[in-house]
Structure 1
């Protein structure tokens, strides 16, 4: 049976800190566990009691947007952001350098099409701290541009940037911008990879997909027989589906039923996922996987507050690294939007995040496996070079 999955884009807005440029010798593994844990935290909260829906997010996308934001925060506000990202305790220089190294590794990817872009949008008549701008340009290669958020053209400019950097898969992340917005940070990520072993379209056929509520829905199921990394233990089937030369892979985890799916998501941690990855062993068998396309979007304020970032949204927030008071600043909205397409050739995914800040107020050959993904399932797209979870989600209703 197949479960839900999702791809996301996020945007952070602020209403009305500088660090030195990092060096690329920093190990990108520094961020893989923290960002994976953060992503699974977000997925768990979004998927709670929603097993009949598709949820798909990019932990890397949201985390980098918040990492940029943390450079404008001080004191308890900065600590709250870093704790939510599971990155507290890291010196600011090390944290920014690790994000820079991650960006450089993504930019140097050739096995699949993978890109990430950052931008800082500033209200043109507000005196923003120059060191904040300089830090984001040096550590995150963030494009910086002054806009008048009181004009509709500002929204058009930002949405056009998002569309461009997600290969037009996310045409819009904002409907409007609060006139009191002082700064808006955006991150966009796009992925396109071909399966190492592509599915034959001639074999794809209709199949019943049993949703969490027991309803059957017709989906197009692809089929492939080959040797994959596979495991079936403790009520979970799991498989690794590599892209191209194996540098990236999609992991699909199929709990036996909806109750098991909810339990899996509630207990999902970065360490638990690493254990699943380590449990996979080469085995020949057949995988039947739905062909589908989904879009997803969400406002993340409530979830981030629950995860520990409440201070950043409150009147007690301290973003003096962006702009010295007055005006007093806080995060007004964090938006995330995503896209996912899975077919016989491969996978295409995109996500964007926006953060707005405004003024407040030993092997024995096993028998062949046959894994049929025909009810709600979990998936993750992972960079095998560093363990970074680029996208993750739960799929409850795949649509071709």
Structure 2
């Protein structure tokens, strides 16, 4: 059978493996198409996203900044999962840590989660947009597939002429990405490969003011030691205030909430004698959440935090194959028959991921196509982020990771 490359999952910027069985995650049920709570998908999403981060760091330059949007990657793959069948669906279910959740329940839970995350208060905006572009001459998407994408993912649909107007299609896709990320990611594609007939895209944008902004007059250049031992001077924000923080022997961390206090950014500093990559590789997401949720305290803290702006990109093919999705990339074995019909077999050709993340005195901004106090008491505890650290932007109630970053060099935008 002739093979056709199909999906380029543009997840623009943001786990427990098992076979499909009747077992479900403790504390959850699979209610089919009935009432579904977002928590049905938040645990799998967090576990899947954390493994993506760990697998990515195994393949990345050890001294480079890395920013991943688990939420954006999951959204694009959930849409793709709707088109999978047979062994391909089973493999994707295991990779995505869905633990046998039905497609209809996954879609309904994602819709509930998206509405919850996007229902932000003044001073914070989180938007997630989806789209599907296809070659009208070489693939005929199933009506049921498109109906699910529009109903549950609010995906825009575009039937285009890839073969005869590749430049126009390329420009249209990149223009959509640029608009949905407020210009932070200008384009996701450099070219259309001749075999590619469809693109499933998620574009995520976040901007939020801190609940307690930093005073720009208190920002100054301070030393920062990189993983390779270089000492560089980095613009570092300062604040002596009340924060929720964790001061353990396994790591130190602080939670900076946004004006919408349902969202927070965790900054995590490994022990001085532990490499940042080894630290993340050995850290379970559940343990990280537990430290902040049950062991952190709120009190006065002397906080020094670098400003940074990072652009990151990665092709996730090898990461997803290592996590069990090899068959989805196989030209002959992949089964995406629920997606529709084409002039050959459909399979995933590439999964591209781009992110942008900026932290400053006012707040945080991310995209993916992903104060001074004077007192006469004793000095407060101090956390100085003066060496490589981990950062996680998340929705606190559902523990959904929106962005996860490893900051090696705050002065580098790459």
* TM-score, normalised via structure 1 length: 0.88
Which of these residues, 46, 51, 56, is aligned with residue 56 of structure 2?
46
Between the aligned partners of 2:209 and 2:182, the Cα distance in structure 1 is: 16
Paired residues of 1:22 and 1:100 also in contact (CA < 8 A): no
The CA deviation at 1:257 is: 3.2
Paired residues of 2:223 and 2:234 also in contact (CA < 8 A): yes
State the partner residue of 1:168.
Answer: 183
Between the aligned partners of 2:116 and 2:280, the Cα distance in structure 1 is: 29
State the partner residue of 1:242.
Answer: 257
Rate the CA distance shift 1:132–1:58 in 2: closer, same or farther, 3 A: same
State the partner residue of 2:363.
Answer: 346
State the partner residue of 1:289.
Answer: 305
Between the aligned partners of 1:129 and 1:381, the Cα distance in structure 2 is: 36
Alignment pair present for 1:106 and 2:106: no
State the partner residue of 2:149.
Answer: 136
Paired residues of 2:236 and 2:307 also in contact (CA < 8 A): yes
Between the aligned partners of 1:177 and 1:206, the Cα distance in structure 2 is: 44
Between the aligned partners of 2:209 and 2:244, the Cα distance in structure 1 is: 17
Rate the CA distance shift 1:366–1:304 in 2: closer, same or farther, 3 A: farther
Between the aligned partners of 2:251 and 2:392, the Cα distance in structure 1 is: 15
Paired residues of 2:204 and 2:367 also in contact (CA < 8 A): yes
The CA deviation at 1:165 is: 0.8
State the partner residue of 2:169.
Answer: 154
Paired residues of 1:236 and 1:253 also in contact (CA < 8 A): yes
The CA deviation at 1:283 is: 1.7
The CA deviation at 1:372 is: 0.5
Between the aligned partners of 2:273 and 2:368, the Cα distance in structure 1 is: 27
Alignment pair present for 1:266 and 2:267: no
* TM-score, normalised via structure 2 length: 0.86
The CA deviation at 1:107 is: 3.2
Aligned ranges 1:171-320 → 2 under 5 Å = 171-257=186-272, 259-278=274-293, 279-314=295-330, 315-320=332-337
Over the aligned positions, Cα root-mean-square deviation in angstroms equals 2.1
Return structure 1 stretches of 4+ with deviation > 4 angstroms.
none
The CA deviation at 1:324 is: 3.1
State the partner residue of 1:371.
Answer: 383
Paired residues of 1:29 and 1:388 also in contact (CA < 8 A): no
Q: Alpha-carbon deviations, 1:190-249, whole Å to 9, x = none?
A: 000111110000010001110000011211000011111111112310110000141110
State the partner residue of 1:122.
Answer: 134
The CA deviation at 1:65 is: 0.3
Q: Alpha-carbon deviations, 1:113-158, whole Å to 9, x = none?
A: 1100000111111222221111111111110011122311111111
What secondary structure is seen at the aligned counterpart in 2 of 1:192? strand
State the partner residue of 1:356.
Answer: none
Rate the CA distance shift 1:33–1:273 in 2: closer, same or farther, 3 A: farther
In structure 1, stretches of 5+ residues that fail to align are 1-7, 12-20, 354-364
The CA deviation at 1:323 is: 2.4
State the partner residue of 1:4.
Answer: none
The CA deviation at 1:28 is: 1.5
The CA deviation at 1:76 is: 1.1
Paired residues of 1:73 and 1:320 also in contact (CA < 8 A): yes
Between the aligned partners of 2:265 and 2:320, the Cα distance in structure 1 is: 26
Which of these residues, 98, 101, 110, is aligned with residue 87 of structure 1?
98
Paired residues of 2:134 and 2:160 also in contact (CA < 8 A): yes
Between the aligned partners of 1:367 and 1:308, the Cα distance in structure 2 is: 51
Which of these residues, 6, 17, 31, is aligned with residue 41 of structure 2?
31
Compare 298-307 and 129-138 and name the one that shifted more. 129-138
Q: Alpha-carbon deviations, 1:151-208, whole Å to 9, x = none?
A: 1111111111111111110001101112222211000110001111100000100011
Between the aligned partners of 1:256 and 1:127, the Cα distance in structure 2 is: 54
Paired residues of 1:237 and 1:371 also in contact (CA < 8 A): yes
Between the aligned partners of 1:325 and 1:153, the Cα distance in structure 2 is: 22
What secondary structure is seen at the aligned counterpart in 2 of 1:259? coil
Rate the CA distance shift 1:366–1:159 in 2: closer, same or farther, 3 A: farther
In structure 2, stretches of 5+ residues that fail to align are 1-8, 13-31, 371-376
